[in-house]
Structures are given as C-alpha cells and as structure tokens.
Amino acid sequence: MEDRKITEKESLELISQMIRNTQNKLAENSGRPFLLFGYLSVAFAIVIWCLIHATADWRWGYLWFVLPAIAWPIVARIYNRMRNKTTYIDRVVKYIWILMGITIIIACGFTLIFHDMESLFFTSLLLGMCTALTGLVVKIKPVVIAGAIAMALSPVVLWMQGENRLLLLSLVFVLVFVIPGHILNHKSKNNA
C-alpha cells in the first residue's frame, strides 16, 4: 500500500476491507492467560486439599493468596507481549476478569476470616458467570456452556463436607479456565 490518491469506490472498498480485517478476530494465543490461571488454580486446589487433609489445619488455605501474586504478573507480561491491537471486546473481557479477580480475593478473604467455606459457592458461581459472560462477548458457544456448567455445579459445594469442596473447586477451574483456554487458543489460531 502506498501514499497514492484513490477513487471514491476504492476508498469505500478499502474502508470495509480494513474494518473486516480487524473485527471479531481474537489475538493469537488469547487463551494463554486462561490456561495459566487454570492449571495453577487446579494445582493449588489439589496441593491445599492434600495439606489440609494430611494436617487437618485449615490455615493452609492462606496459600490461595499466593496464587494471584504468582499468576497476575505473568499474565500481565503475557498479555502485554501478545497484544498488537486492542479491540473493544478485548477491553470488555479484560475488565470482566479484573473485577472478577478483585471479587474473588474479597470472597476468599471472607472464607479464611470466618473459617467456613461458604464463599467457595460464590467463588464458583462468579467464576462460572464470568466465563459464560466471556463466551457471550466473544461469541463462542462452548465457552458459554463451560461457564454455565460451572454455575450449575456451584451449589453442590454447599452439600459437600470440609476440604473435599476443594476437589469440586478444581473441577470448576477446569471448566472456567482450562477448557475455555484451549478453545480460545484453537479459535485464535484458526482465525489469525
């Protein structure tokens, strides 16, 4: 493309071609932050379950606060490196998950302060909702379904006992992060 004058029809064609090229395209590897959070969260849930199970000490739950401290800087780095453009969809998804992260930290704080695990229900429900919302925004049905299943599973936490709820939570992490992460990566590779 050069700095040359064009006809009016060429102008219109060029405008629509450029808009078509950028709209509704996911950045390549856009599932990476989901995968990082997903696998780390599953690993944390299993390790914390093992530690509580072995020692009967609920204070191992404080380890959850290490997760965002590890994952957020890495996700910010990945996001910054892979980003060559920001669409309106990217911005909406980013803010959904930032608000989600803050809400989850507050929910986890309450769980640890009040020594019960009721907040795991809200955590699972919110995670499922945000994944479903992400799926709706990026228009990928399997991501919406994964989020909806996580939402449907969340009340089961209320009927489970003690640290075993963490096992259900790890399943929720697979549904809200790992599966959508792989789907997003696959889709972004196909439409790059």
Partner 1 sequence: MFKELNPLLHSELRLAIMSLLLSVEDADFVYIREQTGATAGNLSVQIDKLSKAGYIEVEKTYKGKIPCTLCKITPEGVKAFEEYVEALKSYIRFTDN
State the nearest-atom distance from the C-beta of 36 to partner 1, in Å.
17
Residues within window 93-152 making contact with partner 1, judged by CB under 8 A? none
The closest of 155, 165, 150 to 46, measured between CA atoms, is 165
CB of 92 to partner 1, least distance (A): 10
Q: What is the dihedral of CA 175, 99, 155, 119, to 10 degrees?
A: 120
Q: How far is the CB of 188 from partner 1 (least distance, A)?
A: 14
Residue linked to tokens 């450029």: 18
Of positions 1, 54, 69, 113, contacts partner 1 by CB under 8 A: 1
Does residue 9 interact with partner 1 by CB under 8 A? yes
- Among 14, 56, 66, 99, indicate the residue that binds partner 1 (CB under 8 A): 14
Binding mask 62-101 for partner 1 (x = CB under 8 A): ---------------x--xx-xxxxxx-xx----------
* DSSP label at residue 84: S
Task: Give 176's Cβ-side CA count (13 Å radius).
Answer: 30
CB of 7 to partner 1, least distance (A): 9
Alpha helices in 115-173 (DSSP H): 119-138, 141-153, 156-159, 165-173
191 contacts partner 1 (rule: CB under 8 A): no
Q: How far is the CB of 20 from partner 1 (least distance, A)?
A: 9
Query: Residues 150, 155, 157, 159: is their CA dihedral positive or negative?
Result: negative
Cβ distance 93 to 137 under 8 Å?
A: yes
- Nearest of 27, 58, 77 to residue 165 by alpha carbon: 58
Pick 21 or 191: Cβ nearer partner 1: 21
Binding region for partner 1 (CB under 8 A): 1-6, 8-12, 14-15, 17-19, 21-23, 77, 80-81, 83-88, 90-91
